[in-house]
């Protein structure tokens, strides 16, 4: 009799794989499994995140900025290290270097791309070893009320979604509103028989290009601009190390900021509808505001100033924290 004790979740289709040894291929989707992901599965369990948002709101640029910060966090986490587990993830690291050197924006994600972002994160403060598995999709698939789930496979089967919204672009988006995007998300889940009462979804609403929001309250703008993590990872020489207590304080501040953003967006009708729709469906809702570049970008996609991302770790922190409960 054979006992299949090892359990692995496929990072492509999220199928559960049981085997005696380290599996090399998913029996369901037939994709080759990342070697490091499989071999370090028990030490660095995955948390899965679906990215959701219209085109040109900054989803791909965010991945670059997030990668940059994940690479640099060894400056402030004393035992931390990272490694890319797929070729496409390692390409992101190379793109970061190119981005820094040339200031060029990455290409827009194309429909039908099946790449995943898999980054092993070892010895993080607060959470220990985890593997970030993130799925991006082309923005146009989110234009309709029934999102094609074959192009966003994490949407149904993972509890956490990062919903990217660019408020500065809303006035030029052909009548789109933020509550419409949430409505498409809810309608798709309902169409596929997701029971919101039994399965509580976790949604992080990420306000991108926040440095361009003209009416952003002063306290939120100050929070965005004064990013201590960006300052710390770019300081030469010794910097104060972040321990569990420091991380706890940072997350407490993130919660206060989330509450302040929620109160602010409800000053408009679409914002009130957004929040009420989420609460009606028992969604665990959080808010972040970020600037993936920290500076203006011209019409050709080139940086006008040096890359200086702000608060891009906040959505990531929410994702890992919400899935650690």
pLDDT value at position 11? 94
What domains appear along the chain, each with residue ranges and CATH number?
Answer: 1-33 (no CATH), 41-322 (3.40.50.300)
pLDDT range class, residue 111, cuts 50, 70, 90: very low
pLDDT range class, residue 294, cuts 50, 70, 90: confident
More confident residue, 201 or 295: 201
pLDDT value at position 116? 87
Residue 207, SS3 per DSSP: strand
> Which of 28-32, 127-131, 185-189 reaches the highest mean pLDDT?
127-131
More confident residue, 265 or 3: 265
Rounded Cα distance between 293 and 82, Å, is: 22
Q: Which residue has the tokens 């808010």?
A: 287
| Residue 187, token pair as written in the block | 């309608």
pLDDT value at position 58? 85
pLDDT value at position 214? 93
At residue 305, does pLDDT exceed 90? no
pLDDT value at position 1? 44
Q: What is the percent of the chain with per-residue pLDDT over 90, rounded to a whole number?
A: 58
At residue 125, does pLDDT exceed 90? yes
> Which of 34-38, 52-56, 151-155, 297-301 reaches the highest mean pLDDT?
34-38
- The arithmetic mean of pLDDT across residues 98-121, rounded, is 69
More confident residue, 237 or 70: 70
Residue 62, SS3 per DSSP: helix
pLDDT range class, residue 306, cuts 50, 70, 90: low
pLDDT value at position 304? 47
Residue 286, SS3 per DSSP: strand
Q: How far is CA 7 from CA 20, 44, 73, 99, 116, in A?
A: 9, 13, 30, 38, 20
Residue 35, SS3 per DSSP: helix
Mean pLDDT, the chain, whole residue set: 87
At residue 10, does pLDDT exceed 50? yes
Using the 8-state DSSP alphabet, how is residue 125 labeled? T
Cβ(143)–Cβ(188) below 8 Å: no
At residue 299, does pLDDT exceed 80? no
pLDDT value at position 102? 66
For 156-209, how does the pLDDT look when each residue is reduced to its tens digit (9 = 90+)? 888 899 999 999 999 887 888 999 999 999 988 888 888 888 888 999 999 999
- The arithmetic mean of pLDDT across residues 102-109, rounded, is 60
pLDDT value at position 199? 84
- The arithmetic mean of pLDDT across residues 143-165, rounded, is 81
pLDDT value at position 140? 65
At residue 322, does pLDDT exceed 70? yes
pLDDT value at position 96? 80
At residue 298, does pLDDT exceed 70? no
Residue-by-residue DSSP string for 149-206? TTSSTHHHH-SEEEEEE-GGGGGGSTT--HHHHHHHHHHHHHHTT--TTTS--EEEEE
């Amino acid at each position: 009799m054979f006992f299949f004790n090892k359990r692995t979740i496929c990072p492509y289709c999220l199928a559960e794989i049981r085997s005696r040894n380290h599996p090399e291929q998913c029996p369901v989707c037939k994709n080759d499994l990342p070697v490091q992901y499989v071999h370090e599965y028990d030490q660095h369990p995955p948390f899965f995140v679906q990215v959701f948002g219209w085109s040109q709101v900054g989803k791909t640029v965010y991945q670059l900025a997030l990668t940059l910060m994940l690479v640099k966090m060894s400056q402030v986490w004393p035992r931390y290290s990272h490694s890319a587990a797929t070729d496409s993830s390692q390409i992101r690291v190379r793109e970061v270097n190119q981005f820094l050197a040339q200031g060029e924006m990455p290409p827009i994600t194309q429909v039908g791309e099946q790449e995943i972002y898999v980054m092993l994160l070892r010895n993080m403060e607060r959470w220990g070893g985890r593997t970030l598995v993130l799925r991006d999709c082309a923005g146009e698939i989110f234009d309709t009320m029934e999102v094609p789930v074959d192009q966003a496979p994490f949407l149904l089967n993972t509890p956490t979604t990062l919903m990217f919204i660019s408020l500065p672009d809303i006035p030029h988006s052909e009548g789109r509103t933020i509550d419409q995007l949430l409505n498409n998300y809810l309608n798709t889940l309902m169409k596929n028989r997701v029971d919101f009462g039994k399965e509580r979804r976790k949604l992080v609403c990420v306000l991108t290009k926040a440095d361009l929001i003209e009416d952003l309250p002063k306290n939120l703008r100050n929070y965005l601009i004064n990013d201590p993590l960006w300052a710390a990872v770019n300081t030469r020489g010794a910097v104060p190390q972040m321990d569990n207590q420091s991380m706890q304080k940072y997350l407490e501040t993130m919660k206060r900021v989330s509450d302040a953003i929620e109160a602010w967006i409800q000053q408009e009708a679409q914002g009130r509808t957004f929040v009420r729709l989420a609460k009606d469906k028992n969604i665990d809702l959080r808010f972040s505001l970020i600037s993936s570049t920290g500076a203006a970008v011209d019409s050709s996609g080139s940086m006008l100033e040096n890359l200086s991302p702000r608060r891009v770790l906040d959505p990531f922190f929410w994702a890992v924290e919400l899935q650690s409960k």
